[in-house]
Amino acid sequence: MASKLKTAKALAALQKKLAEEMDTEKCRISLCNGTACRPYGSNPVADAFKAEIEKRGLADQVEFKITGCHGFCERGPIAIVEPGNVFYQRIQVSDVPEILDNTVQKKAPIERLLFKQDAGAKAVARQNDIPFYTDQQRIVMGNNARLDPTNIEDYIAIGGYSALSKTLFDLQPDAIIQMVKDSGLRGRGGGGFPTGTKWETCRKAHGDIKYVIVNADEGDPGAYANEGLLTGNPHSVLEGLIIGAFAIGSHQGYIYVRNEYPLALKNITMAIEQAEKLGLIGKNILGSGFDFSVRVNRGGGAFVCGESTALMASLEGKTGEPRAKYIHTVERGLWDKPSCLNNVETWANIPLIINNGAGWFSKIGASGNSGTKIFSLTGKVNNTGLVEVPMGIKLRDIIFDIGGGIRGGKKFKAVQTGGPSGGCLPEKLLDSPVDFDSLLKAGSMMGSGGMIVMDEDNCMVDTARYFLTFLEEESCGKCVPCREGVKRMRQILTDITEGKGQVSDLELLTELAAHLKDSALCALGSSAPNPVLTTIQYFKDEYEAHIKDKKCPAGVCKALIRFSIINEKCPGCARCVKPCPTQAITFMGKQKPVVLDQSKCIKCRTCFDICKMGAVSIE
Amino acid sequence: MTDKVAAIVKKYGSHSSQLVSILQDIQAEYNYLPRTALDKLSKKLDIPQSHVYSMATFFRAFSLKERGKHICNVCQGTACHVRGADLILEALERQLGVERGQTTADRGFTLETVNCMGCCATGPVVKIDDEFFGHMTNDKVEPMLSKFKE
């Protein structure tokens, strides 16, 4: 690695040198080795590439890069081959030699590894032609595929840290804050508070010691956008943080990372060490006289620590309990000093604004909601993954164009945004724009970018019960409305899913929800009713089916369903007999339907999943 | 044990603000938080034992009970839930003969749940030690466990 950079000129020179080195005739293969590609076996594939390149002595012809998340997690392990922008998917170790041959000899792409939306569709060779990518605007996530996150030189080569250099030498703190204000950037952690205003208040707050904090405690279950960014491009977050610190007048930063994200922890820690070595963090950064150091803290698996005051308590070495925010954390936060906390994605947007200008940024997205937002598109959608879209895009465009519609030809039922604090939106709202204000109006929220798609097989009462169970476990217990209110709501919902609901329950749930919204200490409690309220509002018929008819239309709630064998469809293949954990299914001879003993059936769904003939029914 | 705890505390500059990280490292070392280590920690950092215990019990990542050789973590995040993660958890409970949070009698496995591991697209996901298993179904549970049984 290069030696310590003492001036802006030295950084610019290094950048020029690295960019020139990159600009060779070499073929480039960048393999995604993000957290989601690993269960598919991307690690052995990466090893195979390295071994094969060494074995054949191809190092001077092929540049092989292991990168963070490319976004299209559904099709992992994935790789991009340049030149040609070829997108290979579901790569196995055995495919590696062929990919190398093909790349080096510049042959046509390997057909079987190309993307097809379904078996009969035409193969698409270039990544930029795949519908999953065409409708996205990957300004923040896009660089993930271009760099090895464990090598700071890769980031510098594509212009990294030039925004920092510009900040330190060409801009005054007030001008930076004005830029961020003019860009219209709003907090990506969910609340959508204007970032520039937050910075300005913190800069003006009294006190010599101030802190800047990265909230990487992405606790929303079903959201992993921050993980993808922190793992795939840690320096972009770090650069944003240093710029913010300079603007606010802070010399110490903290990055609070969930401990469930080991790879993100490793990469950000390594990024800090490398930035320190190059003099981009530490004393007298690039000779500007500005000092800044940063420390990584790990979370302990408490969802409430995503809340700013709870996070700061945890940073102080206390239990992660929130406090009432009569005085905001920008005035008195960590150790009672003015503290500016922003989400991972918010920080990563900062270098883009500095480099390209506030005007450029404010033109992306929708009015009052500028820029892009990264969503983790998951659940029952065909193309799952991390998608970055301009704000104001329609839900329908994300789910059906980028997401490729619902799996297995099933019918769309709901999309859940905003994690446990958000809500479930029905089909009739699919044409509403995705931005902070519209989602809030619909009863949900942006949250940290989870977007979980549900189909006809998902029960909305069960979904509400699921979120309340989660929140009951995660409630810190400090304030009574949350500790007791969430618990009671969960009990009522459990009763409904078990067929013990009463007609008056819906009214009681709504009443409890109103009290909780008004009186809980922090957002965990005050937004806890959202999943319940939206499901009652948009899916009341499902609640009524559970309460009045004692039926679960989606076939999920165990107490209300019954498995049975459709005799006409069962060929007696007995595939389901052995896997049944309670031996409830008896083989009656070939060509004869099996028999299911209801008294033994525990409704584990194993037979339903195994049967290829559709001979198991759920009523 | 004293040496190991002392080394971990030293690594974090004896800052009590680093308590969560220190506890994480102790747990990584012993697989749980042994009482003797916590006693040592409170002396080293000069903070009350009650404070150490308040932290160790507040955060769900910590275990005060000795855990099994393999930690089996079932993701219960929303994306995994809508694809049937609770059925996978039940299958594991049946096959291991323990409930979540418990350790098998032979100390082979501890069954735990986690709220999201950041690979939602491959759900339902189970992680045993450092190995991820995606797109889980009931019939994949037994072969997965047998990989880790002697």
Domains with residue ranges and CATH for chain A: 22-133 (3.40.30.10), 152-362 (3.40.50.11540), 366-455 (3.10.20.600), 460-549 (1.20.1440.230), 562-619 (3.30.70.20)
Tens digits of per-residue pLDDT, A325-364? 888 999 999 999 999 999 999 999 999 999 999 999 999 9
Nearest CA in chain A to B51: A318
pLDDT of the residue at B1: 65
B62/B67 Cα distance (integer angstroms):
11
Strand runs labelled E in A44-199: 62-67, 79-82, 86-88
Q: Do B132 and A604 touch (CB under 8 A)?
A: no
Between chain A and chain B, the number of residue pairs with CB atoms below 8 A apart is: 166
With beta carbons under 8 A apart, name residues in chain B contacting A385: 121
**What is the side-by-side strand order in the sheet with A293-298?**
A293-298, A252-257, A211-216, A339-343
- The C-alpha of A350 sits at a distance from chain B's nearest C-alpha, in angstroms, of 24
pLDDT of the residue at A362: 96
Q: How far apart are the first and last CA of chain A?
A: 64
Helix axes A505-519, A540-547, angle to 10 degrees: 130
Give yes or no for A266 touching B (CB within 8 A). Answer: no
Nearest CA in chain B to A258: B117
A21 alpha-carbon distance from chain centroid? 34
Tokens 């059936």 — which residue? A601
Tens digits of per-residue pLDDT, A293-302? 999 999 888 8
Cα atoms found within 13 Å of the Cα of residue A223, Cβ hemisphere only? 31
| Residues within 8 A of B (CB atoms), A 286-315 only | 297-303, 314-315
Domains and CATH numbers, chain B: 2-58 (no CATH), 70-146 (3.40.30.10)
pLDDT of the residue at A397: 96
Give yes or no for residue A47 having a pLDDT over 80.
yes
Tokens of A526: 């005050």
Which one of A316-330, A385-399, A513-527 scores highest in mean pLDDT?
A: A385-399
Backbone CA torsion sign across B85, B87, B90, B95: negative
User: How far, CA to CA in Å, does A498 sit from each of A73, A501, A544, A574?
Assistant: 36, 8, 13, 31
Tens digits of per-residue pLDDT, A149-187? 999 999 999 999 999 999 999 999 999 999 999 999 999
Say which of B19, B91, B121 has its CB closest to residue A317: B19
Which helix H or strand E contains A369, and what residues bound it?
strand A369-370
- A399 CB-contact burial (10 Å; exposed 0-12 / middle 13-18 / buried 19+): buried
Contact between A148 and A154 under an 8 Å Cβ cutoff? The reply is: yes
A277-304 in b/e form (b: 16+ CB < 10 A) is bbbbbeeebbeeebebebbbbbbbbbbb
Give yes or no for residue B124 having a pLDDT over 80.
yes
pLDDT of the residue at A396: 95
* Residue to test with chain B: of A252, A339, A452, most B Cβ within 10 A: A452
B112/A210 Cα distance (integer angstroms):
39
Helix/strand/coil for B110: strand
pLDDT of the residue at A23: 65
Q: What is the mean pLDDT of chain A?
A: 93
- B24 CB-contact burial (10 Å; exposed 0-12 / middle 13-18 / buried 19+): buried
A328/A310 Cα distance (integer angstroms):
13
ipTM, two decimals, is 0.91
Give yes or no for A33 touching B (CB within 8 A). Answer: no
Average pLDDT value for residue range A593-606:
91
Q: Do A221 and B59 touch (CB under 8 A)?
A: no
A339/A325 Cα distance (integer angstroms):
13
Contact between A445 and A417 under an 8 Å Cβ cutoff? The reply is: yes
What's this model's pTM, rounded to 2 decimal places? Answer: 0.93
With beta carbons under 8 A apart, name residues in chain A contacting B81: 221, 463, 466
Nearest to A574 by CA among A557, A593, A561, A555: A593
Give yes or no for A408 touching B (CB within 8 A). Answer: no
pLDDT of the residue at A158: 94
Tokens of A176: 């930076």
Give yes or no for A419 touching B (CB within 8 A). Answer: yes
* Residue to test with chain B: of A69, A74, A311, A319, most B Cβ within 10 A: A319
A264/A226 Cα distance (integer angstroms):
9
pLDDT of the residue at A443: 85
Give yes or no for A416 touching B (CB within 8 A). Answer: yes
The confidence band for A105, taking pLDDT boundaries of 50, 70 and 90, is: confident
